[in-house]
Amino acid sequence: MQSRSCPEQSLSFGIFFFCYFGFIGVFPPYVSLFFAHRGIDPVQIGILMSLMQATRIVGPNLWGWAADASHSRSRILQIAALGSFLVFFALPYGGSFFQFALIMIVINMFTSGQGPLSDAIMLAEMRGDLSRYGQLRLWGSVGFIVITAIVGHILDQCGMEWMPWIGASILGVVFVASLRIYDTPQTWHAREKTSIIKALLQREVLAFMVSACFMLASHAALYAFYSLYLAKLGYSNVTIGLMWGFGAVAEVVFFIYQTPIIRRFGLKTVMLVSLLSAAVRFALIGVGAHSLAVLLIAQLLHAFSFGAHHTASIIMMQRWFAGPLQARGQALYISASYGIGCTFGGLFLSLIWGELGPQAVYLIASGFAILAFGFAVLSWRWQNSGNGTPANMA
């Protein structure tokens, strides 16, 4: 299939991704530092960050079900965006661990569905042509880079108490951006009666989901502890923000060139390299975080450990869960990876931080990525012995 011209809603998707992932550039990197500023200890912070991921076990599936059942994914996306904006104003008024836990659960119930819903709307408009996906998705990475760097400077100058108000302001813009997005009319044919359970219970799909679970369990070391670890080592908020931003720059480069890369090397190779890159990345952080050069190399690997893995996963999910199953399929992936994976990883690594220290956290995270590699190999072996090879970018 030849690449189509840019989707009609390219500008709207670009604005939404810039704003939404700009918020992601503020929330995980700096909310842990905000909790520490409010007197929450590192183990409790790890639990709070795990709660953020735990909501992704249930939240995306509820939003995905509502979107597919209502046949109005854009309207559900707008409701989720408005809810997250309103609820975020509770964060500055939290004081205890339990108050913050409740706030984190409610906030993330609303934010957890926005990623898979926006992806499902965009994929529906593309009608299976993913050659433009990376070019649109990279605007999220650009937003992450720009806003993370700006907010790091603001917080260094004005103090951590500004973080919730900045986050709420960005979510307000996310809601406004969501109002520009609409559903592309679709015509479902044979796939209408496809069972999502039947699709999920294929052995290659289950192996892929377990791989994604371990991959994101490894990334819990990044989302929950990276900023805390660098702050513990004496890095400033600006430097921490730049480290997050540098990783996102590497991710942008991959998104720009992902189509020729996947066509040249194949989806299987890209997926497996991404998993091995994560193992190397977290091992480097574990043993060499005192060195700025080592941190930069580790963040450079974000191009593969996140960018390549995300794209390859979206393509696989598009193959297995297309048509009317699209929103729920994307939600299942988010639940297995960010939900179960990050929750398990965050809770387990919180205990490791308390008992063995931060270096052990990253070495165990590297081990999780190796387990993810093993299950991915199994998934591909079963795919190749079944109904053919996975979809490509064409």
Q: How many CB atoms lie within 10 A of CB 386?
A: 11
pLDDT of 87 > 90? The answer is yes
pLDDT reported for residue 279: 97
10-184+195-384 homologous superfamily: MFS general substrate transporter like domains (1.20.1250.20)
**Position 307 confidence tier, pLDDT thresholds 50, 70, 90:** confident
Three-state SS for the chain is CCCCCCCCCHHHHHHHHHHHHHHHCCHHHHHHHHHHHCCCCHHHHHHHHHHHHHHHHHHHHHHHHHHHHHCCHHHHHHHHHHHHHHHHHHHHHCCCHHHHHHHHHHHHHHHCCHHHHHHHHHHHHHCCCCCCHHHHHHHHHHHHHHHHHHHHHHHHHHCHHHHHHHHHHHHHHHHHHHCCCCCCCCCCCHHHHCCHHHHHCCHHHHHHHHHHHHHHHHHHHHHHHHHHHHHHCCCCHHHHHHHHHHHHHHHHHHHHHHHHHHHHHCHHHHHHHHHHHHHHHHHHHHHHCCCHHHHHHHHHCHHHHHHHHHHHHHHHHHHHCCHHHHHHHHHHHHHHHHHHHHHHHHHHHHHHHHHHCHHHHHHHHHHHHHHHHHHHHHHHHHHHCCCCCCCCCC
pLDDT value for 391 = 42
Q: Locate 242 and state its tokens.
A: 């730049």
Residue (of 38, 77, 394, 345) closest to 213 by Cα position? 345
> Which residue matches tokens 């690594």?
349
Cβ-contact 7, 132 below 8 angstroms:
yes
Rounded to two decimals, the pTM is 0.72
pLDDT of residue 390: 44
* Residue range 247-252: mean pLDDT, rounded: 85
pLDDT tens-place string over residues 150-166: 888 888 888 899 999 99
Q: Is the pLDDT of residue 167 over 80?
A: yes
What pLDDT sits at residue 172? 95
The residue that leads in pLDDT, 46 or 388, is 46
How much is the mean pLDDT over the chain?
84
pLDDT classification of 132: cutoffs 50, 70, 90: low
CA 321 to mean position of chain CA atoms: 19
Q: Provide the pLDDT for residue 382.
A: 85
Tokens at residue 17, please?
């991704």
Mean predicted confidence (pLDDT) in 221-239: 87
pLDDT at 190 (0 to 100): 43
Tell me, rounded to whole angstroms, the distance of Cα 131 from its chain centroid.
Answer: 20
- Residue 102 pLDDT greater than 50, yes or no: yes
Query: Tell me, what's the pLDDT at 3?
Result: 46
Residue with the bigger pLDDT between 263 and 202: it is 263
pLDDT of 127 over the 70 cut: no
Cα–Cα dist 284/205, whole Å? 31
Given a contact cutoff of 8 angstroms between Cβ atoms, the answer to whether 136 and 10 are in contact is: yes
% of the chain exceeding 90 in pLDDT? 35
Res 95 pLDDT > 90: no
Residue 206 has pLDDT above 80, yes or no: yes
- Pick the closest to residue 13 from 63, 68, 74 (CA basis): 74
Distance CA 211, CA 205 (A): 10
The domain ranges of the chain are: 10-184+195-384
Q: In terms of pLDDT, which residue wins out, 226 or 125?
A: 226
Return the pLDDT at 388. Answer: 42
The torsion region of residue 159 among left (phi > 0), alpha (psi -120 to 50) and beta comes to left
Residue 245 has pLDDT above 50, yes or no: yes
Could you tell me which residue, 326 or 23, shows the higher pLDDT? 23
